Each structure stands twice: as C-alpha cells, then as structure tokens.
Amino acid sequence: MANTLHVQNVTYRYGAKTALDDVSFELAQGRFCALLGPNGAGKSTLFSLLTRLLVARQGTIHVAGHDIAHDPRAALAKIGVVFQQQTLDLNMSVAQNLRYFAALQGLSGRAAQQRIDQALDRLAMRERAGEKARNLNGGHRRRMEIARALIHDPQVLLLDEPTVGLDTSSRQAITDHVHDLADSGLLVLWATHLVDEIRPDDDVVILHRGKVRAHDRAAAIAGAGSLSEAFIAMTDTPVPSL
Ligand code: ADP
C-alpha cells in the first residue's frame, strides 16, 4: 500500500442515520490534509473509526499498510491523536504528563526522556517542561497535547478541530507548528470547519452529509475563486465568522 492512510468505501450508520456514505480517499506521507466539513458532516465519526472507538462494518481502513480491522494494534501504533476535548492532568507538569503517557506506551527511562524532549522541541515547548499544565494558556496546553501525541513516533497525526476556543495568535501558532510537522514527514489529518486554517498547497477533503464532495489541493478546489466560495457552493453552509 503506497499511501499512508487509505480509506476505502467506508459507510457508517448510527441506527437509521447514515453518518458516512461510501467514503474513500488516500493520503501520502508528509502531507497536511484538512478534513473540511460543516457540523454534522461526519468528521468526528470518521476520526472515531480511524482510532477504533467505532468499528466500520462496511469498507476498509489501512494505516501505513496495516488493516485496522485485522491488525488494529499495528495500525493504531502508527497514529497519534489530539481529541477536541482537553485530556491533560492539570495538576501535573508538562514533563510529568508526557512521562505518564510515555509509560502507557511502554517507554521509560532514557528512551522516554529522549522522545519527550524531541516532541517538546518540535512544538517549541521544551522551556515549559517544568510548568504545571494548569498554568499554561490554552494554546500551550494544545501544543503540549500535540507533543504528547508524537511521543510514540507515529506516522499519522489526527487532530479534531484543534483550535476551537483559542485566540487568534494561538490558533496561528498551532496551525504553523502542525504545518511544520507535515513538512518534516508526518501525515497530518486536521478536521476543521474553518477555511482560513488551510493553505493553498494543503490537501483538502470536503465532507458533507457523510459524502466526500471534493479531494484535491486547496488551490485546485478554489479554482479561480476562493476556497470559502467553493466550500459554500458544495455544502450550502455559510463559513462561520471567527
Ligand atoms: P461532525 O463531526 O462533522 O460534526 P459527526 O460525525 O459528529 O459530524 O456526525 C455525523 C452525523 O451523524 C450527524 O448527522 C450526527 O447527528 C450523527 N450522529 C453523530 N453521532 C451520533 C450518535 N451517537 N447517534 C446518532 N447519530 C449520530
């Protein structure tokens, strides 16, 4: 399997409600891909399938060549996830939070410390290692969660609306950092409904009512107009103001 993430003909229903309808796309290593869709498009459902919180009965998902249904352990080992809800222990320091997660991944001692330092460096967070999570602002807490998601050295980083609730400069910093991670070789899948987080060279999958409406570079989807205009035309959804 050449591509790092391969979603093929995935359909998912909650009872009678179809949340994903024959969704297929492939993404390559070292790309930033925005999963762009309005509320209810199916983004969270797709993330739940990619992290195996839900199991697809129809279709297949391969991560780095591993079928998530047949070899979930190998597939999930290649994925780092940043959920929309904050999942930090606010009473622990940044380093303690990361060491705790490393231990859950079976890492300890010098190997763990090395991974933690590398992950913090990638997010420009090393100087914050000793600070209590409670004392960090929202943007730095998010960066710490991203660092944590990198500790087991995944190939794919999933982020579910990671800038919700952040101020403009924190949003910008996180968007820049995560683009840098893609440039350094990670495959990033970034769920959002905010068009301004997407750059012309990014990949974009537009999801609407459970179906893939477009999959291309952002600039190609925008064509002669803007990505917002293309998104509105495909989804009948006004782009939310920031
Ligand atoms: P998004 O993350 O893009 O907002 P979701 O994946 O949360 O979209 O939802 C996709 C569709 O599935 C929506 O119509 C939503 O109402 C429905 N849905 C999501 N979760 C459930 C659930 N637990 N039970 C029934 N319907 C659900």
Domains of the chain: 1-78+156-242 (3.40.50.300), 88-153 (no CATH)
Two structure tokens written together for 29: 């290593």
Instruction: List, in order, residues 6 or more apart from 106 with CB less than 8 Å away.
Output: none
Kindly give the distance from the C-alpha atom of residue 81 to the centroid of ligand 1, in angstroms, as a whole number: 19
Q: Which residues pair with 107 in a beta bridge?
A: none
| pLDDT tens track for 137-162 | 999 999 999 999 999 999 999 999 99
Note the pTM of the prediction, 2 decimals. 0.93
Tally of CB atoms within 10 A around 215:
17
CA dihedral 208, 212, 217, 221 (to 10 degrees): -60
Which is nearest to 55 in space by CA: 67, 68, 42, 66?
68
17 lines ligand 1 (CB under 6 A): yes
Q: Which residues of 16-42 are buried (b: 16+ CB within 10 A; e: fewer)?
A: eeebbbebebebeeebbbbbbbbeebb
- Which atom of ligand 1 is least distant from the CA of 15? 25
19 lines ligand 1 (CB under 6 A): yes
**Given a cut of 90, is residue 227 above it in pLDDT?**
yes
Q: Atom 22 of ligand 1 has which residue's CA nearest to it?
A: 14
Give the pLDDT of residue 86: 83
Angle at 214 between CA 209 and CA 220, to 5 degrees: 150
| pLDDT tens track for 35-87 | 999 999 999 999 999 999 999 999 999 999 999 999 999 999 999 999 988 88
- Which atom of ligand 1 is least distant from the CA of 38? 3
Kindly give the distance from the C-alpha atom of residue 6 to the centroid of ligand 1, in angstroms, as a whole number: 22
Instruction: List, in order, residues 6 or more apart from 114 with CB less than 8 Å away.
Output: none
